[in-house]
Amino acid sequence: MRKLIVCSLLTALVMVSACTEEPQPDKNAQNQPAQAEAVVQSSAKPENNKDDSFVLVKGGAFANKKSSYYGKDTKLPDFYIGKYEVTQEEWVNVMGSNPSQFNGGKLPVEMVSWYDVIEYCNARSVKEGLKPYYSIDKNTKDPNNRSEHDQLKWTVTINEGANGYRLPTEAEWEYAASGGQKSGSFTYSGSNNVNEVAWYWRNAGDKYLEGDWTWPAIENNHDATKTIGIKKPNELGLYDMTGNVREWCWDWYVGQDVPQGAMRVVKGGGWIGDIGSAVSAFRGKFEPNGFGPDQGFRLVRGE
């Protein structure tokens, strides 16, 4: 089943990989070691009781002119979002085992479904003495879930006022990736040059790949996830919001191509995908029970 899901993921990624303007490669990008260790103080707690690997995002209207929310009546309150994607080390510390295809403590965790991530949010909240943000009912099928392939369909609801960890909404994710109130109106998270900020199929392996996207080329190039925090951060000091792994959001995907309630939103593109899916405003989608080697997440906590 896992192979079937991954194959379906790769097929979908091929479809979004074509017809995009070619960026100039970062000449230094390929000199970064694939398993380099980033210094991340993920266990230290500052006085405000927020993990110091979280960034306070000041709320307001969208300032990035390239955002899909720009010019719309959308204003967000302050929130904290993870400076990095959740790592395998963080996952194992909470869940006890590592589902990832690529192994490394400072690599982002992957091969996690939306349901896996929801459980992680609650488990980490409990571990740190916080009130879980979600209520999970595994015995009641979610009436809003219209997926034909999701056999779980857990009913997941929000505990209003809870201070525990959660997934970002699509709007929160895009607001943070776009630079918040400090936005430079970049196409990608922190730059108009994708190679400055992202690991994607061309630069995530032994060498920078030319030509068209093909899975054999990616395999032969040993493309993989990379240690968090190596690339340039965005205006808010957030890393890897473009590329490395695609990131789960809370929301159901709403679009003309699929019925509402069939898929959850994913954002940011990943090491398998092309630059089209790495644009901050790009709206990705995935079955909530789906998982793949480029599917991960980052956490949010309320202000």
Q: What are 271-289's pLDDT values in tens digits?
A: 999 999 999 999 999 999 9
Does residue 39 form part of some domain?
A: yes
Does residue 189 form part of some domain?
A: yes
Percent of the chain clearing pLDDT 90 (strictly above): 80
Q: Output the pTM of the full model.
A: 0.85
Does residue 232 form part of some domain?
A: yes
Q: What share of the chain is helix, strand, coil (3-state, %, to 5)?
A: 20, 15, 60
Give me the domain span that covers residue 10.
Answer: 2-15+35-302
Does residue 269 form part of some domain?
A: yes
Residue scoring higher pLDDT (255 or 241): 241
Which of 294, 293, 292 is closest to 269 using CA atoms? Answer: 294
Q: What are 105-118's pLDDT values in tens digits?
A: 999 999 999 999 99
CATH of the domain at 74: 3.90.1580.10
Cβ–Cβ < 8 Å for 243, 270: yes
Does residue 71 form part of some domain?
A: yes
**What pLDDT sits at residue 257?**
81
Q: Which DSSP state fits 139?
A: E
Token readout for 204 is: 């995530």
For the chain, the domain total comes to 1
**What pLDDT sits at residue 16?**
40
Task: Label each residue of 111-170 as H, E or C.
Answer: CCCHHHHHHHHHHHHHHCCCCCCEEEEEEEECCCCCCCCCCCCEEEEECCCCCCCECCCH
Token readout for 173 is: 């994710």
Among 154-163, 241-250, 252-261, which is the least confidently predicted range? 252-261
Does residue 26 form part of some domain?
A: no
